Amino acid sequence: MNLCVDGNEIDAARAVELLERSGRLAAVLGWILRQHVLERELARIAAEEDVTSALAASAVTAFQAGAGLPGDAALGEWLAGRGRSRAEFDRDVARRVRIEQLKHEVTRADLAEHFERRRMFLDCAVVTAFSLESKPAADDAVANLRASRPVERVENWVATVSWAELTRDLDDAPAAPTPGFVFGPVQLGTRFAVFRVNEVVSASLEDADVRRRVRDELFELWLAERLEQLDVSLVRT
């Protein structure tokens, strides 16, 4: 298969040459190799067709329930409105199921250990951030908050953030947050921010979002290891 531009065909050799000139060749090759490894592993998973088919059928049923599409006729009409066939949809679902099977297979043994290594980046804190115009005003706000006095007529907002990310540039921040902890000021542009911890949200593998994030991180590490083992050379003709 060649790419045709303004009636001129660009073959693979020419495409590689253009990518090399643009400085994008390494990035594109990286994606190609990643996909090569993924497809190779998915082909192995595809041998377990009975398991995949059962899980795919369950995934389709769950999708229909969530989208309010009872029955095959409703699903077919919904797909037709988006220019897709049922066969294409079923192939996409089966592929996603195989990817999930592969992720489960390669990460389950090390999931808990990786979670513990990453826990400090997964633990979150619900904080109130106060925005002040000057450092002296911010210093006064810190003193008031630490003395449990109100900070009035100051712009503020509440957010849930990763504690490690929030405090990565603070040398005196504790390793773990505690409710009531106040820190700052931190200069943000022309203003100064002061933060108060309202609540600690400890990460848990029982949380589906946390489990998915940890598993995806571990899966990417596994893929990177497989890529390092490849014997790759660029043969010029």
Distance CA 152, CA 156 (A): 10
User: Residue 4: pLDDT above 90?
Assistant: no
pLDDT of 237 reads 65
DSSP 179-225: TT-EEEEEEETTEEEEEEEEEEE---TTSHHHHHHHHHHHHHHHHHH
Closest-CA residue to 219 (of 120, 122, 99): 99
Mean pLDDT highest for which of 2-6, 91-95, 109-113, 145-149? Answer: 109-113
Which pLDDT band, with edges at 50, 70 and 90, does 232 fall under?
confident
Distance CA 16, CA 26 (A): 10
Distance CA 148, CA 144 (A): 6
